[in-house]
Amino acid sequence: MTAPLIDPFARAITYLRVSVTDRCDFRCVYCMSENMTFLPKKDLLTLEELDRMCSTFVNLGVEKLRITGGEPLVRRGIMTFFRSMTRHLESNALKELTLTTNGSQLEKYAQDLYDAGVRRVNVSLDTIDEGKFAEITRWGRLPQVLRGIDAAQKAGLRIKINAVALKGFNEDELPTITQWCAERDMDLTWIEVMPMGDIGNENRLGQYWSLKDVRRSYEDHFTVTDLTERTGGPARYVRLEETGQKIGFITPLSHNFCESCNRVRLTCTGELYMCLGQEDMADLRAPLRDHPEDEQALETAIRAAITLKPKGHDFDYSRQKLDGQMPRHMSHTGG
Ligand code: SAM
Ligand code: SF4
């Protein structure tokens, strides 16, 4: 049996997040500028290369694959890739195949995703007000996303809503979004906005809203109980007594989850980032392309990369250059 991937801090790497494109049909103000320059197509891993890459990780013990982007469902032929991953679910090597999406293409693909073995989908949605939705996503249209969510639920996919917490933007919607999720039996997670990439100067729509304050706002509307459950990721959870819902809070800026971090991120060009908050990365595209018949070279490169996984990240505003801002866009590393 192949030895699993263990990093220098004894953490087993079992979760791979894969960005399959840097392109998107939305231009969320906290994520992208209106005029983005995207990567040349030749730099992107082909669907076959993505298959080889992910399959190698699965052979090395990765049990969970999350497909993201950019918007993963705008990548041409992406269903071929999802279907090709089904074999790893069937062999039981892979326990979960999932994706994070803006929901715009779900109406079209929900059934295909279910048929490929996807059971849970994260949909990013910051507001359920049509006008505000158009404002925050610039190019997105809420009814299309709502139709996508309906189609996904009809197909049997479990939906979790991820909302970026933005002061002065969706602050007032906390009870309505929560109630809306409860009515549709969807879990909800709030994400703290992170300083990422060059997104232009016009992006001051909504500001940093600390999750401590979001949690406090819940207490104004619901009876809140802390849950001890952790998933190896940055989320903390509470239960709302009135609705029975589980509400998550993701604070990527804090260091509270690094010691249990089980994940690495692959970009659409085959760079492996060992940590969302660090610039260290390894190029896996070269060993993949240079040795088309030889998985050993790729495996060796992956193992070497994992030895570089840092103990933790450093978003601390006082310690990092440029206000702790990361030069990469979330759409590059996949969020
Ligand atoms: N396009 C897909 C989507 O929006 O779900 C997948 C990629 S998107 C980069 C993944 C997640 O990153 C989304 O939930 C989005 O809200 C979040 N995100 C993007 N920029 C962010 C930022 N600056 N701070 C916090 N979350 C961000
Ligand atoms: Fe696109 Fe997702 Fe970024 Fe919004 S958050 S611009 S939907 S990649």
Cβ contact 101:121 at 8 Å: yes
**261 belongs to an annotated ligand binding site:** yes
141 is annotated as contributing to ligand binding: no
pLDDT for residue 79: 98
Query: Is the Cβ–Cβ distance between 282 and 13 less than 8 Å?
Result: no
pLDDT of residue 102: 98
In the predicted structure, residue 131 carries a pLDDT above the cut 80? yes
Task: Tell me what pLDDT residue 137 has.
Answer: 97
Q: How far does residue 295's CA lie from ligand 1's centre (Å)?
A: 32
Stretch 205-219: mean pLDDT, rounded?
Answer: 90
User: Which stretches of 140-282 are DSSP H helices?
Assistant: 142-155, 174-183, 211-221
pLDDT level of residue 234 (50, 70, 90 thresholds): confident
Backbone angles phi, psi at 211, to 5 degrees: -70, -20
**Is 264 marked as a binding-site residue?**
yes
User: Do residues 102 and 134 lie in contact, with contact meaning Cβ atoms separated by under 8 Å?
Assistant: no
Q: Both tokens of residue 89?
A: 């679910």
Ligand number nearest CA of 124 is: 1
Over residues 267-310, the pLDDT tens digits come to 999 999 988 777 789 999 999 999 998 889 999 999 999 998 88
Cβ(101) – ligand 2 distance below 6 Å = no
Q: What is the pLDDT of residue 311?
A: 82
| Mean pLDDT calculated for residue range 114-119 | 98
The pLDDT mean for the chain works out to 90
pLDDT score of 318 more than 50: no
Residue 268 annotated in ligand binding: no
Please give the share of the chain, as a percent, with pLDDT higher than 70.
Answer: 87
Residue 228: its pLDDT value, please? 84
Task: Between 133 and 233, name the one with better pLDDT.
Answer: 133
Mean pLDDT along residues 191-210: 73
> Does the beta carbon of 138 sit less than 6 angstroms from any atom of ligand 2?
no
d(CA 325, CA 36) in angstroms, rounded, equals 18
Q: Is the dihedral of CA 129, 134, 135, 136 positive or negative?
A: positive
Going by alpha carbons, the residue nearest to atom 26 of ligand 1 is 193
Domains and CATH numbers, the chain: 15-333 (3.20.20.70)
Mean pLDDT of 18-44: 95
Ligand 2 centroid–CA 100 distance in Å is: 10
Question: How far from chain centre, in Å, is Cα 252?
Answer: 12
The whole model's pTM is what?
0.93
Atom of ligand 1 nearest to the CA of 71: 1
Structure-model confidence comparison of residues 93 and 232, the more confident one:
93
**Residue range 70-88: mean pLDDT, rounded:** 98
Report the distance separating Cα 35 and Cα 258, nearest Å. 34
Give Cα separations from 104 to 74, 97, 137 (angstroms).
Answer: 9, 19, 11
Confidence (pLDDT) at 20: 98
Q: What is the pLDDT of residues 132-178, one digit of tens each?
A: 999 999 999 999 999 999 999 999 999 999 999 999 999 999 999 99
Higher pLDDT, 205 or 271: 271
Closest listed ligand to the CA of 18:
1
Spatial separation of the C-alpha atoms in residues 187 and 229, rounded to whole Å:
15
State the burial class of residue 159 (Cβ atoms within 10 Å of its Cβ: 0-12, 13-18, 19+). buried
pLDDT value of residue 3: 86
Are the C-beta atoms of 75 and 109 separated by less than 8 Å? no
Nearest-CA neighbor of 169 among 116, 129, 199?
129
Half-sphere exposure of 32 (CA within 13 A, CB side): 23
